[in-house]
Structure 1
Amino acid sequence: MESSARETSAPALINWELAASTAARLAPAGPTLGAAEIATAVENLRLMADISVQHVHDITGLEAARDLRDSSVLVVDRASWAKANTQSFAVMLEPAINKMLEDRRGAIAPGTANVSGAITGSQLGAILAFLSSKVLGQYDPFSALARDSTAPAGGRLLLVAPNIIAVERELNVEPADFRLWVCLHEQTHRVQFAAAPWLRHHMLDEIANLSGHLLGNVDSLMERASAAAKSLKDRTATGATPGRGVILDLLQDPEEKAALSRLTALMSLLEGHANVVMDAVDAGIVPSVKTIRQRFNDRGTDRGLIEKFIRSLLGLDAKMRQYADGSKFVREVVAAAGMSGFNRVWESAEHLPTEPEIHDSKLWLERMGL
């Protein structure tokens, strides 16, 4: 007979299907396009994704770029992006949820879990609905690990067509140039994971470790969440700097903070590297790249109150600062050791920089003997 932990399954604690359907229902409408326009945009995005691979190879020097398959590039709408992320979240959180259920065997009734799952699923869906109109593209390394997934073993690249089109119209830039510019960033992430086949499971282990700490302290989680929400409300009311975000405020235990530090360093490295690749792109690759950069960077200065609140909740502004630190790390290492020296980060998990090393590249260079 199966245990209570098995009866109260991971999907019951978070209703992933409800999260996906809620996101699809709440996602803002995208730009109006005719059938022919949609078909043309999808074809062009696929073309730009394919063209960008060689440029990424030339800039990074990573041979893994040569083996990328077009089949793992998906041009999606907002609802499909949200559904894909619920699948990845399920993969990332399942180990921690199952461990929590095993540790609390018999303490969570199936009925209670289902109600909790519906609430959590709805909340996650609302967050995904907000993000679904903001994300231009995303490399999903965990899709191949999802149940019943038909994704290629190397993960999949998602290009959110309505968002890309909306932004290129908003900025009044050349569509083909902007699409290539976006694809260069996202294809860099594909190359990173292709160059480091161990990275997918390493990242999954780190996420499971962090979420395991959070869920393992579930008895104090609601109390900490309440205090963090009050802090956010106070900061918003007074106009204070948002800080790290409510989600990060939940972390108090030293082990939780250490787990977050490792993930922060990894994400800073991945995004910083992708940003450096984009910055290496000149007019010979994207003719209007200077205009795109200027207008794209300027668009973030005029956000509404609700968007600012949600960004504060998720800590997205803090996240952008971390990515800037990652870019600085990559540039300094390349300047000191060349691209081949920097590419040692993809050889093993032991070569990944720590958070202190992200902030002081000399520490990493010394550890690597460069």
Structure 2
Amino acid sequence: MQVIDWDLAVATGTRLVRPGPQVSREEARRAVAELRRLSRVAEGHVREFTRIDTDTAPEPATIVDRPGWIKANVEGFRVVLEPLTQRMAARKDQTPAIVSAVGSRVTGVEVGAVLAFLASRVLGQYELFLPPDPSGRAATGRLTLVAPNIVHAEQELEVDPRDFRLWVCLHEETHRVQFTGVPWLREYVRAQMTEFLLVSDMDLSTLLDRLRSAADAVADAVRGGEGNLIDAIQTPEQKEILDRLTAVMTLVEGHGDYVMDAVGPSVVPSVADIRAKFHRRREGGSRVDRTVRKLLGVDLKMKQYAEGSTFVRTVVDQVGMDGFNKVWTSPETLPTQEEISRPERWIARVVGAPALPEADGTAG
């Protein structure tokens, strides 16, 4: 049983996605080659700065266009949703065939439309969930950079292309180092996502209630309120799980932002100019664009960058990089959402109170 018609999702997304910037074949070839090279350069800087060791052999980033990003994310969605698909397949006798067929096509179109919207905005990502390779071995993850979006952003912002590309690579390579250097982190995120899906209520009355909540969220967002679809359709049990997922993703996104800006000044000469212009770009867009971003939770992701970066910066300033890296010890040492906002509480719980300085200014 298909929850989503994946082929239709890909077809819809690739049909709706806007074309990338107009560049010559040679310009495109040079951009792809430089992004691959800079991803390797960035990895060295990230490993040295973060002090996170990983045994995974370095690999160049996978460079894709917008349709390629859509196809890659559909593959990831299929892996993530497999537990839910299996459970619904076990209940297939309870669902009329026509309902399953129509429902999967409707959701296929919806997923494709969402991916088309995002595919022109995402600069890169570390893909955690991939289908097994041809031998059946589970994939460990893949760093993907969306070349047309990076080129479009650097043209729109009027920034130095080489500096901007390395700056983006620093952020995305931080995610690769996080998930390859912290062995339990990937499985922790997967387990939380699986649990989130499997505590869904499937009865008709609950579904109707959530649809009404989703409609209210759309109306609120259009009026300029804070409503979003993620909050509207989750159960109380899912909210508890989502709080844990939000905390860990705020940490990894904030860590990525912190690293890209901390390493930046030494290797990206125009980093201050890039950061200022990019921040304005994140907050811009048309009224429709801002409404869709809010509904899809994209604005929440932007908030995660800021909150997570502040948490990392505060902790590193107080207890150093080695003290901060205790965050990667186990799921129990991850910060809660409350600790993200109050870093001193995480420090007290995980690191312990730092020694007070002596009168002459040296540590005791």
Tell me if TM exceeds 0.5. yes
Aligned to 2:120: 133
Q: Does 1:249 align with 2:232?
A: yes
For each residue in 1:201-225, what CA deviation from the matched residue of structure 2 results, as whole angstroms up to 9, or x when unmatched?
Answer: 2111101111222354664133212
Aligned pairs (5 A) from 1:100-249? 100-102=88-90, 104-143=91-130, 145-146=131-132, 153-216=139-202, 219-237=205-223, 240-241=224-225, 243=226, 245-249=228-232
How far, CA to CA, are the matches of 2:84 and 2:200 in structure 1?
A: 9
* Residue 341 (structure 1) shift: 1.4
How far, CA to CA, are the matches of 2:4 and 2:132 in structure 1?
A: 15
Distance 1:289 1:22, change over 3 A: same
* Residue 310 (structure 1) shift: 0.9
Unaligned runs of 5+ in 1: 1-8
| C-alpha RMSD of the superposition | 2.1
Q: Does 1:32 align with 2:22?
A: yes
Q: Does 1:298 align with 2:317?
A: no
Distance 1:23 1:148, change over 3 A: farther
Q: Does 1:49 align with 2:39?
A: yes
Report the AA paired with residue 249 of structure 1.
A
- Contact kept, 8 Å, 2:167 with 2:264, in 1: the verdict is no
Aligned to 1:5: none
How far, CA to CA, are the matches of 1:130 and 1:314 in structure 2?
A: 10
- Contact kept, 8 Å, 2:70 with 2:115, in 1: the verdict is yes
> Per the alignment, in what secondary structure is the counterpart of residue 135 of structure 1?
coil
Report the AA paired with residue 88 of structure 1.
G
Aligned to 1:63: 53
Aligned to 1:96: 84
* Residue 98 (structure 1) shift: 1.8
For each residue in 1:149-202, what CA deviation from the matched residue of structure 2 results, as whole angstroms up to 9, or x when unmatched?
Answer: 999833101100000000100111111110000000000000000111221121
Report the AA paired with residue 248 of structure 1.
D
Choose which of 47, 69, 92 in structure 2 pairs with 1:81.
69
Report the identity percentage: 42
For each residue in 1:51-80, what CA deviation from the matched residue of structure 2 results, as whole angstroms up to 9, or x when unmatched?
Answer: 10111012211122x744225x20000001
* Residue 338 (structure 1) shift: 1.2
Aligned to 2:339: 357
Aligned to 2:270: 288
- Contact kept, 8 Å, 1:246 with 1:314, in 2: the verdict is yes
How far, CA to CA, are the matches of 1:149 and 1:287 in structure 2?
A: 44
- Contact kept, 8 Å, 2:218 with 2:227, in 1: the verdict is no
Distance 1:341 1:28, change over 3 A: same
> Per the alignment, in what secondary structure is the counterpart of residue 214 of structure 1?
coil
Q: Does 1:262 align with 2:249?
A: no
For each residue in 1:215-250, what CA deviation from the matched residue of structure 2 results, as whole angstroms up to 9, or x when unmatched?
Answer: 54664133212223223214423xx33x25122222
Scaled by the length of structure 2, the TM-score of the pair is: 0.91
Aligned to 1:19: 9
- Contact kept, 8 Å, 1:100 with 1:212, in 2: the verdict is no
Q: Number of residues paired by the alignment?
A: 352
- Contact kept, 8 Å, 2:311 with 2:343, in 1: the verdict is yes
How far, CA to CA, are the matches of 2:136 and 2:41 in structure 1?
A: 24
> Per the alignment, in what secondary structure is the counterpart of residue 210 of structure 2?
helix
Aligned to 1:332: 314
Q: Does 1:271 align with 2:271?
A: no
Scaled by the length of structure 1, the TM-score of the pair is: 0.89
How far, CA to CA, are the matches of 2:137 and 2:16 in structure 1?
A: 26
Aligned to 1:6: none
Structure 1 runs (4+) greater than 6 angstroms displaced: 149-152
**Farther-moved stretch of structure 1 (40-49 vs 351-360):** 351-360
**Farther-moved stretch of structure 1 (13-22 vs 109-118):** 109-118
How far, CA to CA, are the matches of 1:100 and 1:88 in structure 2?
A: 19
